[in-house]
Structure 1
Amino acid sequence: SSVSLSTSESRVHSYFEDGDDPDEFLALPPQIMQAIKALNAIHHTGCIIFEALEKHLKIHSYYRLLDHTKENEFNALLNEIIDSLPLLTGEGTCGFMKLPYKDTRFFEHRAKCADKFYPRNPRTR
């Protein structure tokens, strides 16, 4: 966000409040987990999801920093995660969401995608 937001007790959210997800089989190395735990203490919203296959790794992330006094620390922790990627072994998914302004247990049904949604086959118009 362009402006720091104060932490509201009603909006405090932790990556770890829901416990382990039984569908996530990727164990992250301690260095990445340490950085994620430190990120958890910084006021922000977003998520990071790791998808590891035998020869491919995808990382989906969306972050919005809400406490701009922590920008340098936040960036350093993200860089620690990137620097620790060679330590990642195994296959599966693992993710952490911190979305205090969204009920992640409820998603609105959409009958169709928005008109500006990228087409399934980009060559068709």
Structure 2
Amino acid sequence: MTFQDSIATCLRKYATFEGRASRSEFWWFMLFFVLAIAIPSMISDIAANIIALALLVPNLAVSARRLHDIQKSGWFLLLGLIPIIGSIILLVWSIKKSDPNDNEYGPVPAEVAQGAMAAPPGAV
């Protein structure tokens, strides 16, 4: 998934907490989120806060979908409220490879399925 595809997908699924999000979708959107806040913050903190507030729901939604992709409930986002340890756990989980099979949260994201098919035989 490209940077533009990720942003379009996450904004199209603005408040969709069901389904799954691949690593690339999640991390490209996180990059967009950081840039969308950092650049305006150089000019005005108010503008950065407004943008952060506007992107809060899609950020939570893509984070929940990313957790679904590794067979975790979106409620695990509440671990982020635990100082340091919670953030480390969520970071490790967001880096984890996608579940290559359909799970209770939905089918494998298209790009993950394509990547699995492109892997050479015997590859882990």
Using the size of structure 2 for normalisation, the TM-score is 0.27
Q: Which has the larger radius of gyration?
A: 1
Q: Which protein is richer in helix relative to its size? A: 2
Larger RCO (alpha carbons 8 Å, 6+ apart): 1
